[in-house]
Every structure is written in C-alpha cells, then in structure tokens.
Chain A
Amino acid sequence: MDFSLTEDRRMLSDSLTRFLADKYGFDHRKTVAYEAPFHDTDLWSEMCELGVLYALAPEDAGGFGGAGFDVTTVFEALGKGLCPAPVLGSLLASSLLTSAGADQAGLLDGSVRYAAAIGELDAPYDLDDIETTFEGGKLSGRKSVIYGGNDAEVFLVAAKSGDTLGVYEVKAADAQVTGYGLIDGGGAAELFMDGTPATEVIADARHALEHALDLGRLALCAEAVGLMDATNEILLDYLRTRKQFGVAIGKFQALQHRAVDLETEIEQARSITILAASRIGEDDQAKIVAMAKNLIGRAARLVSEEAIQMHGGIAMTWEAAVSHYAKRLVMIDAQLGDEDYQLEKVMAGYAA
C-alpha cells in the first residue's frame, strides 16, 4: 500500500499549484472568469507549456500521463486555485482522440482549442437521450452547455447515425456558436447545427464516450476536492479570527461540530476520489466513478452552503473569495451527471 504521489506527479502538482497562486491570483481570476473569453488566454498558453494537457494523455497518444492519478493531480490543483481555464473540455476531447487513435498534437501543445459537444438540452447527462443526427456527412441538432465551447476552434460532436452513436468533428467556423459566461466563472457555448459539414472521428463511439465522460467525472471530483480543501482553509481561518460576543466564532460549539462534519465529508470525498482514480481502466470503472461523483455532489454542496452560513454575510459578497469557491462547488454537481443520476447508476446493479 502506498498513498503517496509519484515524484513526477508531485512535481507537476507543485508547479501547477505555484503557477496558479502566482499568476491566477483571486483578484485576477475574479476579473477574467466573468468576461469573455472567461479565462486568461495568455495564461492558457503558459499552462500548456507547463505540460498540463500532456499530463492528461497517454504516451502512445503523444502525452506523458493519461492515468487516473494524472487526471486527479492536475484537476485537484486547478480546483485549489479556482482556475477557470477550459481544461475539462480539453480532457474530454483528448480522451476521444486517444480512443480514435487520431493525431492530437495541436490539442496537447495548446495551439488548437478543442471542446467536446456531448450534452443537449433534453439530454444533459445520458448518452441514450442524444438526438443530434449525422447523415450524409452532415450534422443537425443543438448541443448545449459545451464547457470551453465559447472559444473552441474544433468541436467533437456526439451524434446518432441511424442507431449508432458516433463522434464527428466540426469546425467552429462552419457552425453557429453562441458563447456565454457561467455563474461560477468560465465559459461555455451552445452549438447549433443544421446540415453542418462534419467528418467522422469514431463511427461507433459508445464506449469511447463513456470512457471520456468517466475521466471527466473523475476530473470534476478531484477539482472539487481541491476546491473543498481551499474553502475549508478559508473557513477555518475565519472561524479563528472573526470575533462576535467577545470571542472567536470558532469557539461556539454550534459551529465547531459542523466544522468537524465538513472535515469528515472532505476526507470521505478525498478517499472516494482516490478509489475512483485507481479504478480507471478496470471493470468496475463506471460504477466506482458514479459513486465518487455522487458523494462529491453531496459533499461539495454541504461544504459550500455551510461555508457561507458559518461566515455570515461576508461570504455573500463578490469581493470574498469564498463566495466564488462556493459557487463553483455547487455547480460542479450539474456537470456530467448530478448526484441523482450517479445514484441511479449505482442502484442499477442491485436487482441483478
């Protein structure tokens, strides 16, 4: 048994954490995360130079990582730094290109921005509900809340050709893209296609899509762990320093027990994220990732709501970093399958 990170991953974690603390400080983040393109494109290039994207892809696809623990290492650091950069979209797209055995040099060096267009308005989480169609080299349909889609150049689109779910590549320039900012920072887009020219990337992509989504879910779990750690640090500092009735509010037992409950849930969240990272590529990957995302959904909301409540009014303000951490923590649940959706997947095995 060994719960420590490998030397390479520890170095990546340290350098990314330091980079974000130095360059993506809260004041800067607060500005760029809410104005188009909803992240800092110069810092994006610098992050890519650090090797952030290469860490997400396996060696035979041109990267130097791609394992579950590579993904969690990167995303935990992104979470701790509350980074709005569109790394999730890159991860999903990279995983699809890896499955396809396609060239992804441009994605990995950061020169071409990709996004994965999977969810739809009536199909926010489940691949079975997808209605976008591919026929005669053309795509028709609407893809919704594509993370990082607001300034992507290439979309990898999940669509049905007959009864088969495939992945097709569309150039942003060939389609209608409406980008917008998200309430927790960062950007996304709606993609409208109506006989839009597309090329096939994977003809039968069911497995590849599920795998990409699992990696994405794992990434979100790790991001949430980083966010929760940072939020907890801010909260504990406040409980120790904010005084009311002549004492630090952390002296009130009504708050002490709840702070301990948060700590407990954060440790549980960390554990199940480690478990999920270890199961990537194994038979029970889907089930364990679903368990992790379910627990994260519950823990992240609890940490968010309790951190606000125990701060009092100050956490309701835009100027306080904790409010932005709190928003991100809550909104993670609605990405790639919420708590209930994941629970259904866990329950699905029971009847068998």
Chain B
Amino acid sequence: MTSLLSVVNVSKVYQMDGVVFQALDSVSLSIKKGEFVAIMGPSGSGKSTIMHIIGCLDRPTSGKVFIEGKDIFKADDQELAEIRNTHIGFVFQQFNLLRKTSSLSNVELPLIYAKVPANERHERAKATLVEVGLSDKMSNFPSQLSGGQQQRVAIARALVTNPSIILADEPTGNLDSKSGRDIMTIFDRFHKAGKTIILVTHEKDIAKHAKRIISLKDGKII
C-alpha cells in the first residue's frame, strides 16, 4: 500500500532576535491510508510543530512533505488553503469554535470555503453532528455547551469535508477523563470506518487507542 502522507527530512528552525532554535531536526515519517498513529513526546519536543507542517498551516525550513503524492513545499498560500480545505481535518486542543455561532454553522464553515451549496451544506453538517452524538445541540452556541460537547462540534467540523487525514493536537488536553474517553470512542469509530488519524498526546491511556506510536524528543524521532 502506498503512503498517504510522507515527510522527508523535514527541519524547522525558528530565529528570534538572532537566537536560532531548531524545533525539528530532519524528521522523516510515512503514514498509510487508514492508519491511526499517535505522536508522543515531552513538552517542547516539536509535536505541534510537525502537526502544523503536516496540516499545511506552516512551512518547513527544509525538507519535503507529500500528501497523496502532492509536494506541498511548492504550493503557494492559495493552494495551501485549498489543500487544508479538502485534505486536512484539524482538531485543536482549544476547540477554536466561532463564538456567537451555532454548532451547525460552525460545522458548516469548511463547506462554505469548499463552495458547497447551502442546502447540501446544512444536510452534511447535520448528518456529521448526528454522528458525533449532538443531534439535540445543533442550534446551541459554544458558550452553551460543555467542553466535551464543544470538542465534538470541532471534530464534526474536521470530518464534514470528508478529509484524507484527521489531525488532532491533544484533543483531550482540556477535558476531564470521562469526556476524554467519549472523544476517543469517536476517534476509534472513525478509525474502524477507514479514516486516517494522527493524534498528539501526553497520556499513555490515550495513545493506546492508536495502532502505532511515534516518539519525538528535541525535534528528533526516537
């Protein structure tokens, strides 16, 4: 099976006031379609940095990233936005939902940028919210939802475009253990349905859900 995602010799160097800091040091990895991978490592080891690069939110200083064979290093800002929209579903630790905006509208957001017509948008967003168990919270604002429910809205938003890869950076980091387990049940279910998932976590219990674990330390894979 060919790899859905390959990262080849990726380095990321930050420069601040002349101080050079290497957040990633020649990282290479490859992920196949349908895999469920956890990235682990201590704080500051570069987990979020590699996730941002894979998610096309950031560019590597050197090295290459291929998503479905496409070299994203060459893409301009416009193309990166399109790749994020069609290939990537990002779940953040802080949920990042739009305030004063209903769950349904939050989930519809990526579809607006995918130029999906309004009717189809509503239908798909509703269906995805049902899948994450929020059929009764569609018109609630984020402020009227629990943390676990907010994260489920965020997962629905990541899934609604039917992306090639779901990236989740510490999705349970802001949740109590019960809500965290609920979230992981959802990820398990999507994995069984054939989705490709990359998850960053500190917790061993959470990482156990993944089928493969990649460990990072000081910007290197160990």
A and B held together in a complex: no
